[in-house]
Structures are given as structure tokens and as C-alpha cells.
Structure 1
Amino acid sequence: MNILVSACLLGACCKYSGGNNRCSALLDALRAGGHTAVPVCPEIYGGLPTPRPPAERQGDRVVTQAGTDVTAQYRKGAEEALAMAELNGCRAAILKANSPSCGCGTIYDGSFSHRKVPGDGVAAQVLKAAGIAVYTEENFQELLPGEAQQQ
């Protein structure tokens, strides 16, 4: 199965800080099940650099800590991620939890105080609206239960 996966979870240094969020358990589960990861970084697809200022959702907008509105870049990146999912036949995605782009179920509240609230990142929202099941590194076992248990 082809699965759209946040590139930072695969070890790509595309996180806002320039680092990554490599998730060994996820990599092991993907390998164990013979799945193909289709790496995406909606922020980069939207034209944002790495590293870049941290950003959070504030309602329908995405803003940096300095107050710069980056909503257009996040929307463009979300549409590009959806195009990659469709091009590769991905019916599921595993994205970075809590991210203003990739978070699914919870995101940071927009105050840059590390508080989480219910909600989805821009890309997760677009993917879900298109019928793609979205998971995070925190709950990918729901998608890959057998593979995750083989670890």
C-alpha cells in the first residue's frame, strides 16, 4: 500500500527548525508491511524555506510567531500534498502530530504557548476532505496494526 508520510517522520531534515522528527517505530512498521512511503512536506511544497519561523493556526489563518501570515503557503502546500496522494494512489496518510499543516485531531492553539486544542492542520484538513484517512505518528498503529505489533 502506498501511504503519504510526513517527510520529517522519515528522517528528512525539513522540520521548521531544520531538524527532523524521525520515527523509528513508524519506519519499522512500514518496512514490516512492505508499504511504500510517499514523502511529503506541505510547508516546503508551499514555498517556505527550511529552517523557517515557527507558525501556528489561528482560526482559518496560519501565522508565524512574529505575526506574518503564511496561510497562502500552507494552503498551496496542502493542495500539492493532495496532488501527490492522488498521483500515487494513497488512500491513507501518516502525518506529524500537532503541526499547523499536518496535525490531525489536535494542533497548537495559536498562542505559541505549547497549548493544544482540538483541530487539524491545513494539509490534514484538505486530505480528509478528499476522503484520505489521516493518522499521525501517535496513532499510526490503527492503520498498520499487524506491522506495529511485529516490532
Structure 2
Amino acid sequence: MKKVLISACLLGNKVRYDGGSLAGSGKLISEWIAEGRVISICPEVSAGMSIPRAPAEISGGEGGQVLSGKVTVIDNNGEDVTEMFLTGANNALSLCKVHGIEVAILAELSPSCGSSSIYNGDFSGTKIDGTGVTAALLISNGIKVFSQYQLAEASQLLQQ
């Protein structure tokens, strides 16, 4: 049975920068949990960042550019948190490798996890432009990344 990596905040865990979650009711996610498919992570918390924490943004770029060292991640206090975001992304990738995960559901519009809908229907041309740091790292390692609004598409790949 194929496993799926899911952002912890999407499962109701209060791990977001503001101490909240993005939990929504999802029949598919409930089914995946019942089947034992779900592996959960909050990349930022896994890297040692606190809850709550200062919100952060990728300064003048996107996740792929953070991976290549061209831009940084700065919190609203002016602190460079790039290394924490890179550590969290690598922690997520490690989980994917350990569990043989090929599909991830990451929170949309997060500088760490994702961005606006990442899956475009054809992974041969998937770009990492506009993604968060974790999404960019996973995509660059062949993992199919979806937002929380693309569960049906993710489910199709999990059933293959």
C-alpha cells in the first residue's frame, strides 16, 4: 500500500506559525488515515521552530531559489530562517525516502510547504517555480506534490 506525506496542519495539528491548523473535513484523508497510509510532518516544527513563531516569507523568490542559495527565508522580525526551512524540507524528504512515498499533500501558500496548486496534470513538465522550500525539494526528487485542494488527483496516483 502506497503511503502519502501530508502537512501536519492539514490533519488538525496546531503547528502553524500562529498556533493554528488548516484542518478541513476530507473523506479521502479520513480513508487514508484509516488505511494507515498517512505519514505526517510539519517541516518547520521538525526543524526545531517554535509554535507559535514569527511568520516568514521567501525574500524575492521561491523555494527552488532557496534550494540553490539565490534567495533566503526571512521572518517578520528580520531573522534569516533559511537554514531551518532547509532542515525541515530535508526532514520531509527523508520521511519520503524511508517510507517510499511518491505523493505528498502540502499546505497551499506556505513558504515552507507549498504554494498555489502545484500539480498541473503532467509531471514531466512540473516546475518548482512559485513553490515553498519543502515542495521544491520534494518535486526535485521526483515526488508528486499536491495542495489540499487536489486530493482527488492525489488519490488517483495512490491507487495506481
- The two structures have a TM-score, normalised by structure 1, of 0.81
Q: Displacement, 1:30?
A: 2.9
Going by fraction, where is helix more abundant, 1 or 2? 2
Q: Summarize deviations over 1:79-136 as a string: whole Å, max 9, x none.
A: 01100111111110000000001114469xxxxxxxxxx6000000000011000001
Q: Are the counterparts in 1 of residues 113 and 135 from structure 2 also a CA contact under 8 Å?
A: yes
Q: Displacement, 1:35?
A: 5.6
Counterparts of 2:88 and 2:104 in 1: how far apart (Å)?
A: 15
Paired residue for 1:112?
none
Counterparts of 1:142 and 1:91 in 2: how far apart (Å)?
A: 13
Identity %: 37
Runs of at least 4 residues of structure 1 off by over 2 A? 30-35, 104-107
Counterparts of 1:105 and 1:125 in 2: how far apart (Å)?
A: 13
Structure 1: give runs of 5+ residues left out of the alignment.
108-117
RMSD between superposed Cα atoms in Å: 2.2
Going by fraction, where is strand more abundant, 1 or 2? 1
Structure 2: give runs of 5+ residues left out of the alignment.
62-70, 119-128
Q: Are the counterparts in 1 of residues 85 and 112 from structure 2 also a CA contact under 8 Å?
A: yes
In the comparison of the two structures, how many residue pairs are matched? 135
Q: Are the counterparts in 2 of residues 3 and 92 from structure 1 also a CA contact under 8 Å?
A: yes
Q: Are the counterparts in 2 of residues 4 and 85 from structure 1 also a CA contact under 8 Å?
A: yes
Matched, 1:13 2:14: yes
